[in-house]
Amino acid sequence: MLIERLFQLLFWSALVFAFVMASLHQPPSIPGNPGDKLLHVIAFVVLAGLAAFAYPRLRLVFIFAGLAVFGGAIEVVQGIPQVGREPSWADWLADVGAAGVVLLAIGAIGRGRSQRVTHSERS
């Protein structure tokens, strides 16, 4: 239970951090100058992983849907002229693609573990 609380704290902190960074007119530069899409992928890989560990009883499809909505909200905010950013469907697709890959992998690993446990209990 304590580990879930820790992951929940990390998840919500990362979510707020991602939103703030995406909403800044001029976000801070990052060493190596990774591309915008790579930053989106990294952010949503981290968010998806943290969310899955923070809320292990929540179906992964709901986590995916929540992250897809969050990615869309970021793009809507970036479309506000005062923010000074440009919304992008490609950014949103990078977000949902990264989250989807991570959550599919977690689901496959979890399914494999449950099948092994069930099989070993029968033996």
| pLDDT tens series, the chain, 123 aa | 899 999 999 999 999 999 999 999 988 888 888 888 999 999 999 999 999 999 999 999 999 999 999 999 999 999 999 999 999 999 999 999 999 999 999 999 987 666 655 555 555
Could you give the CA distance from residue 49 to residue 59 in angstroms, rounded to a whole number?
A: 13
Are the beta carbons of 2 and 57 closer than 8 angstroms?
Answer: no
pTM of this prediction?
0.88
Instruction: Give the type of residue at 47.
Output: L
